[in-house]
Amino acid sequence: MEIQGIDHVEFYVGDAQQSAFYLCTALGFRLCGETEPTDHRSLLLRQGGIQVVLTSALSEHHPAAEFVRRHGDGVAVIALETASAAAAYDTAVAAGAAPLAEPAVYEHEGARVVTAEVAAFGDVVHRFVERHCGPEEFLPGVMNVLAPDPEPGDELLSTVDHFAVCLPAGGLRPTVEHYQRVFGFRQIFEEFIEVGDQAMDSKVVQSPSGQVTLTLIEPVTSKRPGQIDEFLARHNGAGVQHMALLTDDIVSTVRTLTERGVTFLRTPGSYYDLLEERLGEPEVRIEELRETNVLVDQDHHGQLFQIFTRSMHVRRTYFMEVIDRHGARTFGSGNIKALYEAVEREKVTS
């Protein structure tokens, strides 16, 4: 199975228009398409190489209605770009994936797109997408593409770097094995994290192309329940905790997004006081990191810089990450712990 990358990410939300307004005004996405209202309404947003679809149910029979009732707004579909959706579907099902939607063809005025769907984890779906159309098209005959915005966007964010997925205790190993067997992913990283009397275990799986990465996390039940347990309870099961978006200048991006109203988690000053002793001199000035609350880590290949937004959701489940890679290919020894501690600080200050 040849998975080339992330084609798009579909969120099921209570109000697609409201969600689109935030993503466009605060994060710089552009509204590029919409469907005709039927039993649902979907909006297509784009920035750089990122495609986001926001879908709201207009009927209780559309799957978005039950998803939002159970989980609140969140990632429902991670669509995978592939050379043959039918072949990918057949291979996945033969390897044990639960089939959800057989290959379907969408055609209009010479453009052709093929999709098929299998279960991923929890209620999240993987949609295989095969495209034979120009970049302006999305789903021919279904998604009406809007005229391009005459004003150029600032394109602060370029692509989806990874997803972080919370799993119930006992779900980590079988999920890793599932991605290895069904999708041909390989495990590239693992880390056991302890923060005080809480703990979690994590493993990272990645497609052979290196373009699709999932950080899989489960709580450790022998320790006191923590934020992973809270996510699972509020979300009613496994799901995407956050999506990380790549930028090539994190300090400038964070400053711009902050001016637009995005709220990021804060980092104590002591973190930066000890930073050079822990990692050496970072490639971004420490004072700029301190000013913007950006965290830094490194692996054998280079450094990475990251920051997490506060959750905008009523359930305090899904949030976003902005990440900037200076050669780093994985996550370093402190990446997941930094996230865990950052969320713990938010709970204390909010």
Give the total residue count for the chain: 350
| CA distance from start to end of the chain | 45
Distance CA 144, CA 168 (A): 39
Distance CA 176, CA 165 (A): 12
* Six-digit token string for 297: 């880590």
| Spans in the chain with pLDDT lower than 50 | none
Same CATH topology for 3-145 and 159-349?
A: yes
So where are the chain's domains? 3-145, 159-349
Using an 8 Å Cβ cutoff, are 122 and 218 in contact?
no
Residues annotated within the binding site for Fe cation are: 162, 242, 321
In angstroms, the Cα distances linking 134 to 77, 111, 137, 153, 336 are 22, 7, 6, 20, 38
Residue 173, helix vs strand vs coil = helix
Residues annotated within the binding site are: 162, 242, 321
In terms of C-beta density within 10 A (0-12 exposed, 13-18 middle, 19 or more buried), how is residue 281 classed?
A: exposed
Render 289-335 in DSSP notation, one character per residue. Answer: HHHHT-EEEE-SS-EEEEEEBPP-STTS--EEEEEEEEB--S-TTTH
pTM above 0.85, yes or no: yes
pLDDT of residue 39: 96
Amino acid identity of 252? S
pLDDT of residue 336: 58
Amino acid identity of 59? S
DSSP classification of residue 264: B
Fold for domain 3-145? 2,3-Dihydroxybiphenyl 1,2-Dioxygenase; domain 1 (3.10.180)
Using an 8 Å Cβ cutoff, are 72 and 65 in contact?
no
Fold for domain 159-349? 2,3-Dihydroxybiphenyl 1,2-Dioxygenase; domain 1 (3.10.180)
pLDDT of residue 271: 84
